[in-house]
Amino acid sequence: MTALRQFRLVAILEGLSYLALLFIAMPLKYLAGLPFAVRVVGSAHGILFVLFLAALLRAAAKHRWPLTRSLLAFVSSLVPFGTFVFDRSLQREIAATPWS
């Protein structure tokens, strides 16, 4: 799997885990009194976030992204739905890269 495709996959999984944490686990904790949901989903999200950072560094180095693009990718992971917005530019880059 190429660096861009790997980064895209991890970014999507990380984005989904972030949304699950915010919109499923947190309400379960505070509205239903089930803190276990946050522990489970939060742990999964933490692991995926670390994998996201590793995949980001790999893709940025391999494709010689400017610092601004790398920072934009990082910030997109902090904003709900951000990774899905950033994914559009990744799809275009993958399509334009003949060896991806």
pLDDT score recorded for residue 1: 85
pLDDT score recorded for residue 100: 54
Grouping H, G, I as helix, E, B as strand and the rest as coil, residue 58 is: helix
pLDDT in tens, 55-66: 999 999 999 999
When pLDDT is averaged across residues 21-41 and rounded to a whole number, the result is: 97
Question: 3 vs 9, 17, 19, 76, 96, CA distance in Å?
Answer: 10, 21, 24, 18, 14
When pLDDT is averaged across residues 86-92 and rounded to a whole number, the result is: 96
Residue 12 Cα to chain centre, angstroms: 5
